[in-house]
Structure 1
Amino acid sequence: MSISMYQASVPVLVRGLTNLKTFLGKAQAHAAEKQIEPSVFIGARLFPDMLPLNRQVYIATDTAKGCAARLAGVEAPKYDDVEVTFDELDARIQKTIVYLNEFKPEQIDGSEERQVTLKMRTGAVEFTGIAYLLHFALPNFFFHTTTAYDILRHNGVELGKLDFLGRGTSN
């Protein structure tokens, strides 16, 4: 049995975003319980030259919606990157999950050889669909969701491996 491009992308991204919502929910509850100003977490970084938590969420959601859109050959919606509260970040993630769930397998399956061009600061980078998914989009997505997890864990939020992996299975 082979795996489809759709199955390797949309459900994986939705699960990762759902788990990211869990991290943020636990952080919000932790801030309330410990009477910590939520902005402390939103602006937290692992190191001064790294991006803060809210930017990790921006990039994870942008990567997810961009991945599905590029594989389907459509334009992704633009988000303004203005979310600065837990509720706003949660809404952004939810909006991205809704967007991803609008894709049908037939829009993405067969995109293995589709040309994907990313405009980077250093110039355009060309990928086939499969190379883009496996060697750029998914690693980038998991880098930023992992960094969000690490920022929160480093700041005392009680998160565990199952929060990152998710509980149970999703089909």
Structure 2
Amino acid sequence: MSFSLYEAVIPTQIQMLQAAQAWIEKAKESSHSESEIVEARLTDDMLPFAFQIKSLVSHSVGAVEGVRKGVFSPDLEPAATELEKMRLNLGAAENTLRALSKGEVDSFIGNDMLFVFEQRDIRLPFKAEDFLLSFSQPNFFFHATTAYALLRAKGLGIGKADFTGKLRIQRG
């Protein structure tokens, strides 16, 4: 079996982006105010829920765009502060990933790319596949887990099945 970068990254990101949209729908229906959810943090020195959701887009669609360009830098724009806008951003990211071809993503293998964070004078050289698998994918799951944990900490009725979303099971 040959390695497919597309299969290693894209379907699971789509799955998680769908799941996160459902979490936001449940957050919108909760008794908490929108600002209470948007600003939720696990600890004072951690970035809020809004940043966690923004980072799911950044480490999925943004990461693919970075690989295309050969350079990725953190998105320093402010995060959306409305739950519906967050849900729409996740949906747009999902749709963008769905439009990718396996051939294009697999063609990134072996390409050089650079992570640049100028504000911290950080420059990290990667091969595209190593950037996606060892940098963006772990970051994607970190922010997904943190967003989910923030909602659980607020008492939202979500569980493990909500975190994983729709599994890609065999149909038979």
| TM-score after normalising by structure 1 | 0.87
- Specify which of 103, 106, 125 is matched with residue 106 of structure 1: 103
Tell me how far apart the structure 2 counterparts of residues 14 and 79 of structure 1 sit (CA, whole Å).
Answer: 23
Task: Verify: 1:9 aligned to 2:4, yes or no.
Answer: no
For 1:110-125, list aligned pairs within 5 A. 110-120=107-117, 121-125=120-124
8 Å CA contact 2:15, 2:166 repeated in 1: no
TM-score, length of structure 2 as denominator length: 0.87
Distance 1:60 1:170 in 2: 24
Distance 1:10 1:144, change over 3 A: same
Residue matched to 2:130 = 131
Return closer, same or farther for 1:108/1:62 CA change in 2, 3 Å cut-off.
same
TM-fit CA distance, 1:74: 7.2
Give the Cα–Cα distance (whole angstroms) in 1 for the partners of residues 112 and 19 of structure 2: 30
Q: C-alpha offsets along residues 74-123 of structure 1, whole Å, 9 cap, x if unaligned? A: 789x7953521111111111111122222111111132211120102232
Partner of 1:43: 39
Residue of structure 1 equivalent to 2:89: 92
What is aligned with 2:59? 63
Q: Structure 1: which 5+ runs fail to align?
A: none
For 1:22, the aligned partner's letter is A
Is 1:83 paired with 2:76?
no
Contact 2:63 2:132 in 1 (8 A): yes
AA aligned to 2:152 is R
Residue aligning to 1:18? 18
The answer to whether the 8 Å contact 1:72/1:107 transfers is no
Q: Number of residues paired by the alignment?
A: 166
Contact 1:111 1:130 in 2 (8 A): yes
Q: Determine the C-alpha separation between the residues in 2 that align with 1:39 and 1:66.
A: 26
Show structure 2 runs of 5+ residues with no match.
Answer: none
